[in-house]
A = this chain, B = another copy of it.
Amino acid sequence: MKKEIRILGIDDMPFSFGDSMVDIVGVVMRGGVYLEGVLKTSIEVDGRDATQKIIDMIFRTKHKNQIKVMMVDGIALGGFNVVDGREVYKKTGIPVITIARDKPNMEKIRDALKKHFDDWEERWNIITRDETHEIILEYPVYVKNYGLDMEEVKNIIRISTIRGAIPEPVRVAHLIATGIKTGESHGRC
């Protein structure tokens, strides 16, 4: 795998109770270090449009043909707006990795979905349809992968991580998302 591989990292901005929409930020980085582009789109808080909005964002960007893989911070953005990695990969042809620092608490997720959404089962099915893998490099991370085998996933994470657990494209998307929304970046992905 080329060290200079283009990766799209995606994270959402913070939002407040009562917000109907939330912006999501995409960054295109060459390898783990060199920022080539910044993208933005908006999704509904707790909505169902994250998957399609990500697909649209990719088809719109001039970087589309360079992007070899995308990494999404977690399995949902803007609350419980679940990202269907299988669908994103199918429509764009670009492999998808969802990545989280902490092991997802599936029971807690199911309870929250049940409590808040009439369509909870549809969301739950997307979340649970594909396995979550624990990868331990310097730190553990939890990933779902679409269009890649686990060796490729490990290589991509290795190539694109400088310090800590989170690869640069997701870490940088997170810094931009929080910094632009609140005036100063903060927190962990």
What distance in Å separates the Cβ of A32 from its nearest Cβ neighbour in chain B? 10
Identify A39's interface contact among B41, B62, B184, CB under 8 A: B184
Query: Is there a chain B Cβ closer than 8 Å to A98's Cβ?
Result: no
Query: Is there a chain B Cβ closer than 8 Å to A172's Cβ?
Result: yes
Bound Cα distance from A24 to B178, whole angstroms: 15
A147-189 CB mask vs B (1 if < 8 Å, else 0) is: 0000000000000001000000001100110111001110000
Query: Is there a chain B Cβ closer than 8 Å to A61's Cβ?
Result: yes
How many of chain A's residues have a CB under 8 angstroms from any CB in B? 26
What distance in Å separates the Cβ of A63 from its nearest Cβ neighbour in chain B? 8
Query: Is there a chain B Cβ closer than 8 Å to A113's Cβ?
Result: no
Q: A175-B35, A176-B176 are in contact. Are A40 and B162 (CB under 8 A)?
A: no
What distance in Å separates the Cβ of A56 from its nearest Cβ neighbour in chain B? 10
Q: Chain B residue with minimal CB distance to A175?
A: B38
Contact between chains at B172 and A40 (CB < 8 Å) = no
Bound Cα distance from A64 to B150, whole angstroms: 41
